[in-house]
């Protein structure tokens, strides 16, 4: 059985992912400029991936006998990622995404270490895969920014 600490940290990640998801949806809708087409498609890819990750995290919490947070009020209260509004410039959006993904990676590493200390290799493996994916996205966005 998972510790309360691990469940709390997984719910923290779930909250972070929900706010990141909604921010990315907003970026997808509001991007403007000469790079609209490439970024509009990329942001859709990111929020679709985030939605899949949200579902996997919530199901993992249930699998290890926890209760996933499930209201926007709870997400807003607990997320380390803050809602972003009224942003439409490509470089500003990418910089914001880099910051947000960095916070996701930080939280994934917290969960990974806790899972390892509790011999929960399934959760640890899940965090390794998420971190690898998010770090690759960060590298690509840093390269895009030049």
Q: Could you tell me how far CA 50 lies from the centroid of its own chain?
A: 6
Q: Which two tokens stand for residue 25?
A: 């949806």
Residue-wise pLDDT for 73-102, tens only, equals 999 999 999 999 999 999 999 999 999 999
Specify the pLDDT at position 1.
Answer: 79
pTM of the model: 0.97
Which domains are seen in the chain, by residue range? Answer: 4-145 (1.20.1260.10)
Residues in the chain: 146
Which of 83, 81, 64 has the alpha carbon at shortest distance from 2?
Answer: 64
CA–CA distance, 146 with 141 (Å, rounded to integer): 9
pLDDT class for 30, splitting at 50, 70, 90? very high
Which of 103, 105, 92 has the alpha carbon at shortest distance from 141?
Answer: 92
Max distance between CA atoms of the chain, in angstroms, equals: 51
């Amino acid at each position: 059985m998972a510790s309360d600490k691990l469940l709390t940290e997984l719910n923290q990640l779930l909250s972070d992912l929900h706010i990141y998801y909604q921010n990315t949806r907003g970026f997808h809708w509001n991007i403007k400029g000469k790079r609209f087409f490439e970024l509009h498609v990329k942001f859709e890819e990111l929020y679709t991936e985030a939605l899949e990750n949200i579902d996997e995290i919530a199901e993992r919490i249930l699998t290890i006998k926890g209760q996933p947070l499930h209201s926007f009020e709870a997400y807003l209260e607990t997320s380390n990622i803050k809602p972003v509004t009224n942003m439409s410039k490509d470089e500003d959006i990418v910089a914001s995404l880099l910051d947000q993904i960095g916070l996701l990676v930080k939280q994934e590493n917290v969960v990974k270490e806790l899972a390892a200390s509790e011999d929960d290799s399934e959760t640890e493996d899940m965090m390794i895969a998420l971190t690898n994916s998010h770090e690759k996205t960060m590298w690509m966005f840093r390269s895009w920014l030049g």
